[in-house]
Amino acid sequence: MPRYVFDKWEHNGRDDSDWYAVVYTSETDKLERIETGTTRFANAHPGTVEATLLEPTEEVKARVVVILTGMYLHALTNLEHKRVYEPEPSELEGKRVRLVQAVKNQKKTSIPCPKCSGSGKWTNPHNSMDQRPCFACKGTGSTRGEKMKGPDGKPVWEVYPEGTEGVVTGTAFYGKTYRNGYNTVNRSNTTAYVRLDDGREVRVACDKVRLAEEPVDQTALAAARAKTLSVYPFFRTAGFRL
């Protein structure tokens, strides 16, 4: 089974070194990373395996470009889908989002914003011509007060249907994170504050929102870009792990 070599490198650990190669075999029609040698065992000199590897023919090179282009497009598409459908909390502020399921919030009373006395405006004390939306209430003039209760003393809920859209004004993470990664900020433990077009604000876990836009089809763009890439230095510089 002829194996054509496309890349070789050495990984030096603290005590040992290992040698690797990326090879293509037409039997599997795949690129694979193989270990060609290691200092961990006797008689595992990389030269023994490397001597069996062949330089790729033009035909093999052309086939590998096709395979790499496919991998490249696949990786790009995954990234784009993640950006739109599963945005990270740190990416949300200022973005327009859509609820992917209905969300229920306990209703709160609305009271005039104490910072602007309900005007929604901030006026520069040194220049009365300089007026801007109030920072505290973002220009709405009102702010949330107490949690509302019905006549029966039970909480009053407001339901926002799936598909509701608004702009994220901020995110908040409640809890503690540890450096060992035991608890990290993620989409399910972070709350997004979403201001709807009618001024209402929804509190929602970040994993219940997606961006209110469609993924960009990068296929054509990426295919054009991939053609200009040369094969040999491609593997690690393009971030592929084989």
Structure tokens at 234: 């491609």
CB of 196 to Zn ion, least distance (A): 18
Nearer to Zn ion, 46 or 141 (CB): 141
Residue 68 touching Zn ion (CB under 5 A): no
For Zn ion, which residue of 134, 168, 192, 222 counts as binding (CB under 5 A)? Answer: 134
Residue 136 touching Zn ion (CB under 5 A): yes
CA nearest to 20, candidates 62, 53, 55, 61 = 53
Please, which of residues 6-45 interact with Zn ion by CB under 5 A? none
- What does the alpha-carbon distance between residue 94 and residue 196 come to, in Å, rounded to a whole number? 12
Nearer to Zn ion, 33 or 144 (CB): 144
Contacts 24+ apart (CB under 8 A), 66-72: 67/24, 67/29, 67/30, 67/31, 68/31, 68/226, 68/229, 68/231, 68/234, 68/238, 68/240, 69/223, 69/226, 69/227, 71/240, 72/222, 72/226, 72/238, 72/240
CA nearest to 228, candidates 68, 51, 33 = 68
Please, which of residues 197-216 interact with Zn ion by CB under 5 A? none
Nearer to Zn ion, 38 or 119 (CB): 119
Please, which of residues 74-133 interact with Zn ion by CB under 5 A? 113, 115-116
* Phi, psi (rounded to 5 degrees) for 115: -75, -35
Q: What SS3 state is found at 91?
A: helix
Nearer to Zn ion, 123 or 189 (CB): 123
Distance linking the first and last C-alpha atoms of the chain: 19
Nearer to Zn ion, 45 or 108 (CB): 108
* Rg of the chain in Å (alpha carbons): 28
CB of 134 to Zn ion, least distance (A): 3
Residue 138 touching Zn ion (CB under 5 A): no
Say how many residues touch Zn ion, by CB under 5 A: 6
For Zn ion, which residue of 5, 49, 137, 226 counts as binding (CB under 5 A)? Answer: 137
CB of 141 to Zn ion, least distance (A): 6
Nearer to Zn ion, 146 or 214 (CB): 146
Q: Which residues of this chain interact with Zn ion, rule CB under 5 A?
A: 113, 115-116, 134, 136-137
